[in-house]
Amino acid sequence: MSLRMFICFISLLTAQAAWGEGALKDVEIDHSPAALRRGAATVTSVCLPCHSLKYLHYRDLLKLGFSPEEVTGLSMGNKPEAALLALMPPDIGEQTYGRVPPDLSLMAKAREGGPHYTYSLLTGFYQDKTGETNNHLYPSIRMPDILGWSSADAAQRAVLETQANEATAFLVWAADPRAAERKRLGYYTIAYLVLLTGLLYLIKRKVWARLG
């Protein structure tokens, strides 16, 4: 974990230098179960019209602590085994935006800066002098300012920040749903190995003591 954070930190530093002032925002992402669930609701309602998360199935959302009824609510008539596909067919996306909106399942791992990239993208929209919306992180991006960040005032922005944060947390989970399981197993494995290695050290000492 700390190593990962170290890497994030380094890439943030270099990214900051490369992108200029404040393009990648270094915020603490809230990974609490409640935040993940709110993030899931945001992503399925706000992003799913355009983006897929094709490696996730609606039933996977149960693992976030949703009840089956809530999952049925989120799945908008889709079967629980169905993948989270965009409502907009790819060719329409291509026609409308000149590019199929990319799949978001792995987005949290697929850009330098990891989750900070997505967060900064969502909260990086602004209105330029001609009144066009643009993005600090991804200039002339073809995605609309979906949260309405560029026209929000300070009070609204506080709400949107939380929303972007939670959506990002959900995308981090979506990119690696096994992370919690992995870490849990990791603690046991390392504890076991430390014990085993300690014993092996004692055995080694004992065996070598015979040499005098």
Among 33, 68, 139, 144, binds ligand HEC (CB under 6 A): 144
Query: Does 186 engage in binding with another protein (CB under 8 A)?
Result: yes
Alpha-carbon 50 to chain mean position = 17
Q: How many residues bind another protein (CB under 8 A)?
A: 35
Q: Is 141 exposed, middle or buried (0-12, 13-18, 19+ CB in 10 A)?
A: middle
- Selection from 119, 118, 115, 125 nearest residue 162 by Cα: 119
For residue 66, CA distances in Å to 29, 37, 53, 76, 169 come to 21, 7, 18, 15, 16
- x/- letters, 160..179, toward another protein (CB under 8 A): ---------------xxxx-
The CA distance from 166 to 172, in Å, is 10
194 makes contact, choosing from another protein, ligand HEC, none, with CB < 5 to 8 Å by partner type, with another protein
* Cα 186-187-190 angle, rounded to 5 deg: 80
Q: What is the contact surface with ligand HEC in residues (CB under 6 A)?
A: 43, 46-47, 49-51, 97, 99, 101-102, 107, 111, 118, 121-122, 138, 141-144, 146, 167
Q: What is the contact surface with another protein in residues (CB under 8 A)?
A: 1, 3-4, 7, 55, 102, 105-106, 109-112, 114, 175-178, 182-183, 185-187, 189-190, 193-194, 196-197, 200-201, 203-204, 207-208, 211
